[in-house]
């Protein structure tokens, strides 16, 4: 590529992100513990779609997450990978199975089996199992990166006199800093308060007697 060639950074970033996602999805389908291996161990065709495919994907989700002990993000990736795996032949619609009272009449089905009610139920069970063990993954609210605030301070405030600072920019910076502090989750605030109380208790129990002993030693009665 010549030095004068046009380079679209956003397009390159999208392409590499897409390739990375495809590789990750392929690992859940074709790797050692993937969907194909799971089906081959049970004499199932990994590409076949029938009325039981949705239930089988739910079984695979349970097995691949080690009885629902692995992270929820893995469960979502597995479901997305199988949804993409069946999309070329089944589309992306919801999975519907219609059974007939007559055993001689086979069930009819349609949609993507990775979006079946069995899979949705297994995803919910995965969430419940993580919550019961106290391992629930909590989405943190962190829209403001600290490095941006630090860079803003260095560029516009550091080393400047008060009269040389833009008042509107200072108000925007202050409100942003306050907002980022207020966005701490409740359990983080509880943890900080707990640590503060624990530190104060340790100071009273251990440090204060040592200080008293030192004062008694240096200033005997």
Check: CB of residue 132 under 8 Å from CB of residue 153: no
CA dihedral 93, 95, 100, 103 (to 10 degrees): 130
C-alpha–C-alpha distance, residues 205 and 208, integer Å: 6
Phi-psi region at 91: left, alpha or beta (left = phi > 0; alpha = psi -120 to 50): left
What is the tens place of the pLDDT at every residue in 10-36? 776 666 655 666 777 888 999 889 999
Task: Identify the burial level of 95 via C-beta atoms within 10 angstroms of its C-beta, where 0-12 means exposed, 13-18 middle and 19 or more buried.
Answer: buried
Q: At a CB cut-off of 8 Å and minimum separation 6, what does 211 contact?
A: none
User: CA–CA distance from 136 to each of 63, 73, 77, 127 (Å)?
Assistant: 19, 11, 17, 7
Check: CB of residue 112 under 8 Å from CB of residue 87: yes
pLDDT by residue for the chain (221 residues), tens only, comes to 676 778 777 776 666 655 666 777 888 999 889 999 999 999 999 999 999 999 999 999 999 999 988 888 888 889 999 998 998 889 888 999 988 888 888 888 999 999 999 999 999 888 888 877 777 655 544 444 555 677 777 788 888 887 788 888 888 877 777 776 666 555 555 555 554 565 555 555 555 555 566 556 555 55
- Classified as helix, coil or strand, 181 is helix
Extents of the domains making up the chain:
10-132, 145-183, 185-221
């Amino acid at each position: 590529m010549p030095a004068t060639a046009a380079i679209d950074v956003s397009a390159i970033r999208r392409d590499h992100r897409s390739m990375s996602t495809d590789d990750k999805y392929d690992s859940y389908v074709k790797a050692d513990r993937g969907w194909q291996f799971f089906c081959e161990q049970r004499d199932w065709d990994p590409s076949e779609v029938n009325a039981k495919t949705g239930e089988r994907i739910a079984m695979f989700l349970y097995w691949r997450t080690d009885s629902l002990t692995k992270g929820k993000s893995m469960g979502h990736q597995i479901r997305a990978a199988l949804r993409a795996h069946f999309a070329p032949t089944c589309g992306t619609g919801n999975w519907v199975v219609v059974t007939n009272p007559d055993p001689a009449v086979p069930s009819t089905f349609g949609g993507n089996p990775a979006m079946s009610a069995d899979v949705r139920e297994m995803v919910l069970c995965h969430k419940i199992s993580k919550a019961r063990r106290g391992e629930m993954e909590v989405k943190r609210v962190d829209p403001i990166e600290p490095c941006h605030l630090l860079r803003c301070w260095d560029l516009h405030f550091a080393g400047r006199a008060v009269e040389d600072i833009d008042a509107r920019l200072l108000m925007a910076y202050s409100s942003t800093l306050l907002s980022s502090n207020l966005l701490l989750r409740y359990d983080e605030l509880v943890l900080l308060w707990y640590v503060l109380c624990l530190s104060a208790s340790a100071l009273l129990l251990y440090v204060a007697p040592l200080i008293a002993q030192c004062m008694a030693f240096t200033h005997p009665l």
